[in-house]
Amino acid sequence: MPGPERRDFDKDAPTWDQEPKRLKLARDVGSAILQVVGDPSGMDVLDFGCGTGLLTLQLQPRVRSITGADSSRGMLDVLKGKVEGQGLSNMRLLHLDHESREALQGPYHLIVSNMTLHHIPDFRTLLALFFKILAPGGRLCLSDLDPEDGRFHESDVGVFHQGFDREALAGEFARAGFEDVRHLTAAEMIKTDATGQMSRFSIFLITGQKEMK
């Protein structure tokens, strides 16, 4: 069973971008999101669990503004260096601990989150919060693992869900109020698993829209 502890992403932050598989995953997920949302040039976007900004920076040139939010100060420090180094003026960084998420305020036209949901114990509360801070007609796009047997992560520290059943998660989206709920395969990753073997894992993108009023 997953342990109740939180993973120390601050420790991982300095070397996070050195894994090519993570870079490719962000590109694949970013492409899938853009296929769903179309032209995002007028959108204010939230990337929840942005980490070092691998997905954030895929979207940044294409949107009006984007906020990168994360609970890891170390990850945000890495992203801050990128923002300052590239002189990006339409980006904002936001540190959120696990108690202050409710302070998130919108409205956002688009909320994205890549490989974060399995680190959230009560993801249903988070879906409700996302629905609340989306603008009418706004869309939520989440990517995460299809169900797996626990071999994806080297350690189960901070892993509260071993992937998600797409149809079950679509039902949770609907219960949170989302319409037009869809899902697709966004990426595949071949990596050495927790047993030392090479395994293939699939990552889906699930999207839902808030009613236009």
Over the stretch 79-101, which tens digit does the pLDDT of each residue have?
999 999 999 999 999 999 766 67
Percent of the chain at pLDDT exceeding 90? 68
Report pTM. 0.90
Question: With bands split at pLDDT 50, 70 and 90, how would you rate the model's confidence at 12?
Answer: confident
Please give the pLDDT value at position 200: 85
Condensed to tens digits (0 to 9), the pLDDT of residues 99-115 reads 667 778 889 999 999 99
Q: 93: closest CA among 52, 63, 144?
A: 52
State the average pLDDT over residues 64-73: 96
The full set of domains in the chain, from first to last, is 9-209 (3.40.50.150)
pLDDT at 161 over 80: no
- pLDDT (mean) for 38-55: 97
**Interval 163-179: pLDDT, tens:** 899 999 999 999 999 99
